[in-house]
Structure 1
């Protein structure tokens, strides 16, 4: 009995010592201020061969250096813009969007509709230094019913790039009117090259920039239409004019693979000098000097122009949203969003991805200007533009953007008329309600 009692007392003493150790250890951790890292999820398509991949990596790496002790950014890499959009739309349908989401291609509308998108206005207003870095214009551009659900990280000025040697061979200059643009296409074709790097897959990006520019430069009514968010009716003369011209371009003035082509196909056709013109933004300019993407010396052979009638796409990107109601995650996500859209990230995006900063607080160095004459030229041209407008990705309902991949091939093959395509776009707009 004595032995059993002794062992029982000894066990209790040992338990007490171990427990004291745990308590002391816990108190030490509390005293040191250590906390578990907050994990936030962030999907991105800016990877691999994407024009912004290097900038994206640098920004995330720098954030990890600064906040890595308290925040862990779980990055999911998706192979393309389209893969990103498709997955985010599926997740939005089940209210399972990641903590930080880019609102492009109608994703923001779905996030607002499902209640996941967080209003960021009070947070932005509470940080004057950060607010100055993104600027009032960028904030105003993304306001919806008095709320701010997303913050841009770049300003978009989009004209079109052209191959100067191909233009010289065809005996043409950048067109001042749309009739001249179509005439130039014919002259390029006659000289033995495909005039346009178009695409009908994904969001028909390069094709829709031209379509939107035809509409946006078609007088006051067309310009108003291309600056109207979520239009309900596409059956108007400006849209039908644009679709009529696009039908001819898809039939006669583009590459053989344009029907069904993705962005990568269109970009490659221009970079490998298989097409003379591509409608695209300044983020593409680093590709022209990249020997893995473009023919050697291409950068010296590329010029940039306004669209006919002195038109330019001028807008702010939809940008990034916070899509979590968890307080700790929301705070961490907001730190990441501020870093991703602030002055430092804007500078990285400018220098490594050709994305224009939101305000003049991020200045171009003389060395940068010397190395990036196309961007300098584009900014200068933008000051001369008479017509400024958004693109269809920004203005149209996501249900409209979804139908281009089917409607454009039908239009090119003559299975539908421009008028019928406009009707179907109107029907698609109604489905978003």
Structure 2
């Protein structure tokens, strides 16, 4: 009965997240699932407190990144960067596509994929419309790069934070291990999309319809401070790794400095607090409890033993199997619950770091097949729909069916090659 209840609650939670009946928010889905796990005894209150406490660093980091992203947005930084990228294209549509891709990759790497989905996507859509270009190629670029650009740093993706916290990867070691795979997957993604949408990207567009970059900046002093803080935080991540300072301390410090300066210069008000996606915190905490209930069944132990049994296979085969396995799971049940399940299995199997990184690649790059595979993809599509544009689920699937295997294989090859260095 416990097995049936646990699996039933887990499936119900996933369906509520993915289908959102009656417009139900994702946070309510996991809170309902967590409450049912506790009420039925599939997870205990002590376990819920313990698993949430273990994820406290992750939740603080999420808060710091969201606050920093909002403050940068209020400074005009993202709109300035988007217009600058468009002007650097010098009227060439294909160069513009490349620049948008690079901008999305940098935003994702330094400020998380959710920033690309929520903040950068509507800005890109706005200036693409102003230039009278077809939006679909640029929306697909935002949706894909939010996932494929999230390998480089622990801050780039919630799944990265979960893996780093569970396996205690240092910030610098994580970045070094993922640098080459990140570059490879972005190049492959860009080349594939450039070929896929070559007929829809114009050779020329009228750049004069765009304002000058600094015209969209409300206050130059606050803008300069925002750029300085962003640079300081980025450098601080790596310096902190050498000094033993946790990344969330650096991100939160930078956000608070910029917040204080913005309040002093009267560029922002306390109403900014309302713009923070507070619902993300109960969403993650509820998911922790739901996954704990699933772990109590011992299913992770069976999966771990199966993983151990194939460790006689060549390392490259193990990497491919792990990567494609987690990618398939992410597209079915969403990459965040898949990451939590993967962490449990990898821990019980005592999997080496190389296999752990392969699983993370599957969770990050893999969910480019179904629109429900990644929360970032869902956010991009939701943001676009609010602006009157849409990416159909079948269009996304058809593109992902060709792109995802290519991206995964290329990234695993890069990870395997890097393993000889680290």
Give the TM-score normalised by structure 2: 0.29
Q: Which has the larger radius of gyration?
A: 1
Higher strand share: 1
Give the TM-score normalised by structure 1: 0.29
